Amino acid sequence: MNIVIFGPPGAGKGTQSKFIVQKYNLHQLSTGDLLRNEIKNKTALGNEISSIMNSGELVSDKIVGKLIEQFISNDIFKNKIIFDGYPRTILQAKNLDNVLEKYNQKIDIVLKLSVSLETVKKRIFERQSQENRADDNEKIAIKRYQTYEKSSKPVIDYYQKSKLLRVINGEVSISEINTEISGIIEGIKG
């Protein structure tokens, strides 16, 4: 089963992805991790990615798509992927569908963690005091939340039209969210 998970920064995507990976023996595909691994391994592509990122630019869809295809084409991950933070645009969503189809796979479900800006601010404040992450402050949190809401809407609509979208109340406890996600996945697995 292949799953896409959405949610604004601070919604708990990372926490829920880890839970899903462990419970259902899936592999988390995070574009950030893919990019960092290429850089760390000093591949030719990694050097190109590093210079793009160091100049403050975004890595192109073409490069990200190439990394994602490498991941999807690996039989170890076949039909066992949770896409975390990808796709972010309609073009990426359509490209993902095409790549998955090329390797006889598909998206089985799209989970959207729905949380309010107030909850995100509260969680980011808590996370800031525990983890001391540089990107965890209220001003950045508000901007990232607004950017996420605006940019993800077309992709969410795309998956809703495909009847793959399930919205999860991200305002409740971690265990309640785990239980709801498990129920949805078990329902699909049959």
Distances (CA, A) of 20 to 23, 78, 106: 5, 16, 18
Tell me the C-alpha distance between 171 and 177, whole Å.
Answer: 9
Return the SS3 of 3. Answer: strand
Q: What is the pLDDT of residue 135?
A: 55
User: Which one has a higher pLDDT value, 85 or 150?
Assistant: 150
Contact, 115 vs 171, CB < 8 A?
Answer: yes
Q: What percent of the chain has pLDDT over 70?
A: 96
Is the pLDDT assigned to residue 145 strictly greater than 70?
yes
pLDDT digits 0-9 by tens, 162-181: 999 999 999 999 999 999 99
Q: Which residues, 6+ apart, have CB-to-CB distance to 38 below 8 Å?
A: 45, 46, 49, 67
pLDDT digits 0-9 by tens, 36-55: 899 999 999 999 998 888 88
In the chain the domains, ranked by start, together with CATH numbers, are 3-185 (3.40.50.300)
Q: What is the pLDDT of residue 114?
A: 94
Q: What are phi and psi of 143, to 5 degrees?
A: -65, -45
pLDDT digits 0-9 by tens, 68-125: 999 999 999 999 999 987 898 899 999 999 999 999 999 999 999 999 988 888 877 7
Q: What is the pLDDT of residue 17?
A: 93
User: Whose CA is closest to 38, among 66, 13, 76?
Assistant: 66
Give bridge partners of residue 39 from the DSSP assignment. none
Tell me the C-alpha distance between 19 and 136, whole Å.
Answer: 23
